Amino acid sequence: MAYNNVFSRVGHRLAAMLGLGLAAAAPATASGPMAPSAAPAEWVRYAEGTTSTIKDWLQADDENALRLRAYLHASNSAGAGKPLMLKIWVAPDGTVSRVGFQPFAHEEANAGLRTLVEGRKLPAPPAKMLLPINIAVELEPAPSTGGTVRM
């Protein structure tokens, strides 16, 4: 399949995430999101990979990820088709140095999200890639435990 056809189907999601003015993953410029068509292909690929990796971290079956997802869905912060919007800063060695997001009502959820993402390793970003990378992550709810959500 031609790159243009693939990009047209996922371009808007990617743009939002990259901060490229797309809808899924893109770098930002000083004047705001970059248009998907203006982003180098390697930046788009990196943002797609970053989105996938971070989604995997947040969808993990460990206690912190399960608790965060249960909180997000109980509070409708990222449930029912509403993606979790994140800004990701990546150090030259690939370490996630910072994650930005609209704060949640409970500080425990804010800390939980930071714990799941900050300090973790991604591949090194492409040279001169603009940061942050804005991503939208759609998460599945945590399996129900039948109890109340505690952060």
pTM of the model: 0.74
Which candidate, 16, 25, 23, 21, places its Cα nearest to that of 45?
Answer: 25
Q: 42: pLDDT confidence band, cut at 50, 70 and 90?
A: very high
Report the alpha-carbon distance of residue 130 to residue 27 in Å, rounded. 5
Do 88 and 132 contact (CB within 8 A), yes or no?
A: yes
Q: Cβ neighbours of residue 35 under 8 Å, at least 6 residues apart?
A: 15, 20, 21
pLDDT digits (tens, 9 = 90+) for 66-76: 999 989 888 87
Which sequence spans correspond to the domains of the chain? 40-137
Structure tokens, 114: 């930071």
pLDDT digits (tens, 9 = 90+) for 89-136: 999 999 999 999 999 999 999 999 999 999 999 999 999 999 999 999
